Amino acid sequence: MWEIMLYAAALIAAIALLIICIVGAVVLLSVKKNLDHVANTLDGVQGQIQGITRESTDLLHKTNRLVEDVQGKSQKVNSVFDAVNGLGYSVQNLNHSVDRVTNSVTHNVSKNEDQISQVVQWSNVAMEIADKWQNRRNRNNHMNQFKSNNNQTKNDTAVNPEYTTVDDVNDVNSPDIDRIHKEINDKEK
């Protein structure tokens, strides 16, 4: 009986081993099927990754070229900004120079104000004297013409109202000149 039991145990062990092998084969076939599916998926992903890698590399090269172009243009723009900055300094220096000259002129004018007013007054006096002498000369010329015309025609005609005598002309000692001299003397005091 021992023998039968031994055979029965061996038979049960063989059947169990067969079932384990069949289940193992089914599991392995299922795993193989899944692994094949995973391998196919990885092949597709690998192709996509290679495409992405190529595109990324191209994009990186384009980005590098763009960065170089931007740097070149930035350097050119920087030179323009440097020039504008230099122009700003030049304009600022010019403004300071103009301010200094203006302040100097203003200071000198205020310092020499009395002398300038005297020069202006004397120049006004000189211009008035010159105008009066010019008027006297013109009137004398008219009188000489009138006399020469009068001597030629030898007519006793009345004096033309356009012409005046030498006595009517204001000479250098006129009241206006005296007033101007007085103003200048008052300023000098």
Q: So where are the chain's domains?
A: 1-111, 113-189
| Predicted pLDDT at 172 | 45
Residues written for the chain: 189
pLDDT of residue 174: 55
**DSSP reduced 3-state for 187:** helix
Q: Residue 146's pLDDT is what? A: 65
- The winner for highest mean pLDDT among 18-32, 70-84, 104-118, 136-150 is 18-32
User: Which DSSP string corresponds to 124-156?
Assistant: HHHHHHHHHHHHHHHHHHHHHHHHHHHHHHT--
Q: What is the pLDDT of residues 153-162, one digit of tens each?
A: 554 444 444 4
Tell me if 168 sits within 8 A of 109, measured CB to CB.
Answer: no
Its pTM stands at: 0.34
Q: What is the spatial distance between Cα 141 and Cα 139, in angstroms, rounded to a whole number?
A: 5
More confident residue, 173 or 6: 6
Tokens of 73: 């243009």
Mean pLDDT value of segment 32-47? 91
Our CA dihedral for 126, 130, 136, 139, rounded to 10 degrees, sits at -150
